[in-house]
Amino acid sequence: MSANITWHASSISKSERRLRNGHHSFVIWFTGLSGSGKSTLANAVAGRLFDDHLQSYVLDGDNIRFGLNKDLGFSERDRKENIRRIGEVAKLFVDSGSVVLTAFISPYKEDRRAVRELLKADEFIEIFVKCSIDECEKRDPKGLYQKARNGEIKAFTGINAPYEEPDKPEMIIDTEHFTIDQCVNQIIDYLKANKFI
């Protein structure tokens, strides 16, 4: 980090933004294998929040790589940097008074823990989107598992690169055995029960 930079405090505080928006701000971090339903769930939850007049935004793994992280590949180092950057962006959204929903494989526990540590205890919810590798391969919405099996994609999470399941996520959502609507209801119920919304 350069010694020639100075942090400038905002003239509007996070608490003032939350007051204006009428709700708490926090991160819902969806993690899981490709094809598990992270993006689908994040967008469905965001839709429910929008209907309830809550300010929210979805940061999607693929979408982010079209812009902010287009210079990153899929090596372990680049994956870590991908999540580090997203963590910092998510923190900015929380400071803006918004609910941010992130849909990233984020395969490494250490990286997810680092993001959690950027935020306060009541600003981070880790949701493990649980779905077996067999079911994810059956879905294979982008055809990536087939490419990985054919050797066209190297270091693909779940095939030839690791995925470290969370030890103690706030929620485990089973998209293999529950519908998207049922999963969304579980998340909304959790947010209400724990006074996030």
Sequence ranges of the binding site for ATP: 32-39
C-alpha–C-alpha distance, residues 34 and 151, integer Å: 17
User: Looking at the chain, which runs of residues are DSSP E strands?
Assistant: 26-31, 56-60, 99-103, 124-130, 171-174
Place of tokens 């899981």: 32
Cross-strand partners of 159: none
Binding site, residues?
32-39
Cα dihedral sign for 79, 82, 88, 94?
negative
Q: Which of the residues are catalytic?
A: 106
